[in-house]
Structure 1
Amino acid sequence: MKITPLYPIHEQLGAAFAKKHLDWNIATEFTDAISEHHTVRNNVGIADVSYRGRYRLIGEDRAKFLHRIISNDVESLSTGEGTYATLLTHRGKIIADLSISVLEDAISIDTAPETTESLFSELDKYIIADDVELSDVTAETGAIAVHGPKSTDLVQSVLGINELAALPERYNCFREADALYDHTTVCVRTDSTGERGWTLYTAAEALGSLWEALMIEGARFNVQPIGWNALESLRIEAGVPRYGTELTDSVIPLEAELEHAIDFEKGCYIGQEIVARMKYRGHPNRLLRGIEVDPDSTSQERCGCGLAKLASIQGEGDLAVVEATLEGNIGTLERMAKIGNTNLIIKTARAYSSYAGFIEDKMEEAEIAGDSETAEEMHARAIDLYIRSEGYALKALAKSDKTFNEARTVDIDGFEKALQRLKKKDVEPLFWAAYSIARGISLQKDDPMQVIDLARVELMMQRVLELDETFYFGGAHLFYTVYYGDRAPAIGGDPEKAKEHIAHVDRINDGKFLMSKLYLARYYAYPKQDVKLYKTALQEILDAPSDIYPGEEAATSLAKSRAKRWLDQVDVLFDPEMEEGDTDE
């Protein structure tokens, strides 16, 4: 993993680290996220943001070149000024967002770590006859963010600049400090936490000295080092979107209310026609909104549109969009769940299980392609995601019955009694806990310690059936379909019982839930070696209209994707000499 120049200092301070932003090992907490959050709100905190991408643009045509490509005005900027902008596709979707600072002899660009490499390639391909040279200076420079009510006083004191407070409100106005530690420091205004803030850019070899100076001088301001977790909670609370989570290449700037990133008078730039049409002739059909959640509320309605993006993916037929939405928002949902809202905890459990399903699909594709390395990687990822899902689901159950998790470790009779105490309101976390444990067991069949838990999972799913058999398309019935259809008769397998549970799923969903046909093929026709039924069931899925189950297009698309893949496996799964319609009976 990549590390910043300040990694050794953070280690000495006892920071906790985690992999973030693709492949960066980042300090997430120095004390705890809550106290660090309040430090920025009340005093001042400093954070290492050197993992962000940094470019330097030089040449006579640098301003003109950038102006014609990105969404905001660059040519009118004077030295010491800056702006925020986006680089768009021809369809107006965000490729990257950029913070731009105009230096005397160059233009400095700051971008998200997720777009560091791709943005360089995008900009470079437009340099043809221009007198422009683009350099990636991420490795040779570093950046420290200073945020909080006392941030200006601290930065002025350390850098010897006395005019920061007088700078206009315009985004990215900045000043350069004279040589400090033999290197120039550029101080750029950045208000990404909702408090007055500054980002200090300097050479990588001077970053440690700058950090120490901020800590020493900041003692009189009660300065504290701030980790990634607190920066995220501050950003979310302030309603500032970030590329890689809320901002992706499926979002048009106006959908994220980024009008401050656009100059509507500047004329042509890439994607300008789409943005202008939405501004003057129409309106965004969706808007990114921040929400405030009552920690004492368990009502989904209180969470409102904040969960809309994750909730609406059920109606999205493009599986790539569904997967990207889950991947891009699961971290945000997880951080929101930390406030203790039961509904958000449950949504996080479901999101992790849903995302794990996509990873399992990739694992299966890799296995079929003979790519064992990728298959093993996806196998490990899926297990990890199901473990996370299980943890959140059990946490939600514990909020309903504080003794439940303890009861899981006692004898079966005690566990059954704990299950009987659960009510219908507990069905959702109970199902996701059982489902994630079951999938984890399925992925680790060779581990006898994992299989031991199967009896408890069966009891949990039986309780789901008792409380609400219709939950999640009859998900408990689908569990029993696999339970009976994926095991040998000697250890309890029974395809006929699997078929009975499939019939219940069809009854619950009026035959519109195509996953039941998928399960009929895999967990009844296959163990019965009924190749004709296997092919018929899968072909019916492929022939079904995409809107057969309105509002559940994601499940329909997933069923179609798997049906095609499983149909291609007929020769592997069945005896090639078996006539269609024959079975092994």
Structure 2
Amino acid sequence: MQWRSVPYWVPSLFFAAVITLQGCSLAHVDDNLPYGVLNNNDLQLVEDGLPTYLLMVDGLIENWPESESLLSSGADLYGAYAGLFVEEPERARKLSNKALDYGFRAACAHHKDYCDLRSLSVPEFESLLDDAGKGDVPVLFSLGGAWAGYIQQNTSDWNAVAELGRVEAIMARIVALDEGYQYGQAHMYLGVLNSILPASLGGKPEQAKAHFEEAVLLSDGKNLLAQVLYAEKYARLVFDRELHDSLLNEVLAADPDVHGLTLQNTYAQQQAEALLADADDYF
């Protein structure tokens, strides 16, 4: 199974992580510090500085090992760093494994019924999600993102790939409970998951299209990454060059400076340029 290397969940996880850190009891840290990162348009600067966040979270978790918010931040940050900045496969797998471990620990800290999620049968897993409420959405989103990142870094392991259905179930439940959470990015995940395969091989491209359109709508067009993934994952899958180029050109024409989304949008515009540059070869 081969996935394109674009880490589609990474910017959304990073957004979640720094917002969570804002809510943690970090003495003498100004509330606007996380937005100094989220509103930064220099990806290199963020790459250079992100390890400091990782080490800070690791240290805090050592002191508060059952803190749901810190564990969720660890899951988000390690997943983001592994997917966005680490090119060496073995190191990326190691970091994504740590992200998933933090994700499971955060879920367990949130509710004791979530402590054995991975070992539950599919019916038990789905039943537990059916019982989830809106208050469970943040921890489920962090876990689902970390789990997706782990699978992407372990695509040669069919035991890992077989867990994709659980990630899809988590994101579908988030949509049912609070589809606007994080600018509708659960829809973005579902768009990607439904467009991994063409319809002839069991994929669901039309469902993917609907999810991408909802993600764009729920963000009022401000989340440029949703449009980039719509072009890459759906338009390329169905060989719709007109839609592909239209979406990407809209992204490049947009103002990326949106409070809390500037970093993510800068990354999206970078990806849009790359996709347009090789469009002639693809189509």
With normalisation by structure 1, the TM-score equals: 0.42
Q: Counterpart of 1:334? A: 58
**How far apart are residue 308 of structure 1 and its match?**
5.1
Q: Measured at CA, do residues 460 and 551 of structure 1 come closer, stay the same or move farther in structure 2, by a change above 3 Å?
A: closer
1:499, 1:437 → 2: CA distance? 23
2:261 is the alignment partner of 1:552: yes
With normalisation by structure 2, the TM-score equals: 0.83
Picking from 66, 73, 84, the partner of 1:358 is: 84
Q: For the Cα contact (< 8 Å) 2:71–2:102, is it kept in 1?
A: yes
Picking from 275, 278, 281, the partner of 1:566 is: 275
**How far apart are residue 299 of structure 1 and its match?**
9.2
* One-letter amino acid matched to 1:555: Q
**How far apart are residue 555 of structure 1 and its match?**
0.8
2:43, 2:268 → 1: CA distance? 11
What SS does the corresponding residue of 2:115 show, helix, strand or coil?
Answer: helix
1:457, 1:344 → 2: CA distance? 21
Q: Measured at CA, do residues 381 and 309 of structure 1 come closer, stay the same or move farther in structure 2, by a change above 3 Å?
A: farther
Q: For the Cα contact (< 8 Å) 1:390–1:432, is it kept in 2?
A: no
**How far apart are residue 310 of structure 1 and its match?**
4.2
What SS does the corresponding residue of 1:498 show, helix, strand or coil?
Answer: helix
Q: Counterpart of 2:153? A: 443
**1:513-552 matches, cutoff 5 A:** 513-547=223-257, 549-552=258-261
2:201, 2:59 → 1: CA distance? 42
Q: For the Cα contact (< 8 Å) 1:319–1:554, is it kept in 2?
A: yes
* One-letter amino acid matched to 1:558: Y
Q: Counterpart of 1:323? A: 47
* One-letter amino acid matched to 1:405: C
Q: For the Cα contact (< 8 Å) 1:477–1:502, is it kept in 2?
A: yes
Q: For the Cα contact (< 8 Å) 1:359–1:381, is it kept in 2?
A: no
How many residues get paired?
A: 260
Q: Counterpart of 2:113? A: 403
1:515, 1:330 → 2: CA distance? 24
Q: Counterpart of 2:176? A: 466
What SS does the corresponding residue of 1:437 show, helix, strand or coil?
Answer: helix
**How far apart are residue 316 of structure 1 and its match?**
1.0
Q: For the Cα contact (< 8 Å) 1:461–1:476, is it kept in 2?
A: yes
Picking from 168, 175, 194, the partner of 1:484 is: 194
1:405, 1:381 → 2: CA distance? 27
* One-letter amino acid matched to 1:300: G
Q: For the Cα contact (< 8 Å) 1:427–1:464, is it kept in 2?
A: yes
Q: For the Cα contact (< 8 Å) 1:394–1:429, is it kept in 2?
A: no
Q: For the Cα contact (< 8 Å) 1:542–1:564, is it kept in 2?
A: yes
**1:165-314 matches, cutoff 5 A:** 300=23, 302-303=25-26, 305=29, 309-310=33-34, 312-314=36-38
Q: Counterpart of 2:75? A: 349
Q: For the Cα contact (< 8 Å) 1:394–1:430, is it kept in 2?
A: no
Picking from 477, 494, 497, the partner of 2:207 is: 497
Q: Over residues 175-212 of structure 1, what are the superposed CA-to-partner deviations in whole Å (9 max), with x where a residue is unaligned? A: xxxxxxxxxxxxxxxxxxxxxxxxxxxxxxxxxxxxxx
Of structures 1 and 2, the one with the larger relative CO (CA 8 A, separation 6+) is 2
Give the RMSD, CA atoms, in angstroms: 2.3
Q: For the Cα contact (< 8 Å) 2:208–2:234, is it kept in 1?
A: yes
2:250, 2:57 → 1: CA distance? 36
Structure 1: state its 5+ residue gaps: 1-297, 364-376, 575-585
* One-letter amino acid matched to 1:481: G
**How far apart are residue 537 of structure 1 and its match?**
1.6
Q: For the Cα contact (< 8 Å) 1:310–1:329, is it kept in 2?
A: no
**How far apart are residue 558 of structure 1 and its match?**
0.5
**How far apart are residue 500 of structure 1 and its match?**
0.6
1:443, 1:319 → 2: CA distance? 22
* One-letter amino acid matched to 1:536: S
**How far apart are residue 533 of structure 1 and its match?**
2.0
Determine what percentage of the aligned residue pairs are the same residue. Answer: 27
What SS does the corresponding residue of 2:237 show, helix, strand or coil?
Answer: coil
1:307, 1:391 → 2: CA distance? 28
1:450, 1:307 → 2: CA distance? 38
